[in-house]
Amino acid sequence: MDKNYYKEYYVLEREHWWFKARAKIISNLISKSLKNKENNKLNILNIGAATGKTSDILSEFGTVTSLEYDKDCCDFTNSALNLNSINGSILALPFREEEFDMVCALDVIEHVEDDILGVSEMKRVCKSGGLIVVTVPAYMLLWSKHDEVNHHFRRYTMSSLKKIFTKINLTTIRATYFNTILFIPILAFRLLSKLIPTKFIRVGAGSDATLHNNNSISSKILYQIFKSELALLKLFNLPFGVSIFITSSKK
């Protein structure tokens, strides 16, 4: 994450329509995947906690340990929130084997070159029968300045993501795309943005999240559209989208 971006990110995680709708969808999908497990009693690891909002989301399910790779971001978050986030890498998690009931990496493994090692480390520190939760950006066709700002190595398809979980012997519980309704307009924008100089359409660090005023009518409409996918996800998995959600169990 660019140093200029994590300061923007702190506000965006809490106010931007995409983050707010995403939080509701992820929370709901995790809740459904937990099923018979008792909420509020889980020992949870949140990898890539960034500026702390995802740890807030996960706290409804138990006690959260936050880990962040970017030292500056980690220091900034600890200062702003008194979160006590641990500075460390998903490639060498500073925890013992089978320490956590649930291990989450929400939009994280695309940031590391060796994503198989990253998920293997998640498996190592997860208890037998525990839950591993991952979200990632979908489709290289959507690659844009946004991915460069976030230091992504790749975007995924469902099949490429599932191959990682299969390779390290994890059992998939739920796998679905999301942010499906807005897929076409987002695709159109990202393809068009490659033809227009960045300075004309992006501000700040250059993330997609800086494109809308958080209080604008368009942002409120986009939030309602994105959030409406909750109703669809209660019925079935979505066949394509801007992001992918997958939960798996350690045998």
Encode pLDDT of 168-182 as tens digits: 999 999 999 999 999
pLDDT of 113 higher than 50:
yes
Q: b or e along 45-56 (b: 16 or more beta carbons within 10 Å of the residue's beta carbon)?
A: bbbbbbbbbbbb
pLDDT at 140 over 90: yes
pLDDT band at 203 (very low <50, low <70, confident <90, very high): low
Q: CA angle at residue 175 from 68 to 229, to 5 degrees?
A: 90
Separation CA 7–CA 21 (nearest Å)? 21
pLDDT, tens digit (0-9, with 9 covering 90-100), for 23-78: 999 999 999 998 766 656 899 999 999 999 999 999 999 999 999 999 988 988 88
pLDDT at 200: 46
- What's the CATH number for 3-250? 3.40.50.150
Domains of the chain, residue spans: 3-250
Q: Which residue has the tokens 């191959």?
A: 163
Tokens for 150?
A: 């976030």
36: left (phi over 0), alpha (psi -120 to 50) or beta: alpha
φ/ψ of 2, rounded to 5, equals -60, 145
Q: Above 70 in pLDDT, residue 6? A: yes
Indicate whether 82 pLDDT > 90. no
Q: How far apart are CA 86 and CA 69, in angstroms?
A: 8
Please give the DSSP secondary-structure letter assigned to residue 52: S
Residue 192: count of CB within 10 angstroms of its CB = 11
Both structure tokens of 153 = 């190595």
CA neighbor of 132 nearest in space, from 105, 92, 97: 105
Question: How is residue 152 annotated by DSSP?
Answer: -
Residue 76 · residue 19 · CB < 8 Å: no
CA atoms within 13 Å, Cβ hemisphere of 251 = 7
Q: How confident is the model at residue 207 (pLDDT cuts 50, 70, 90)?
A: low
pTM: 0.91
**Would you state the structure tokens that stand for residue 140, as one six-digit string?**
């290289």
Name the DSSP class of 241.
-
The whole-number pLDDT of residue 210 equals: 54
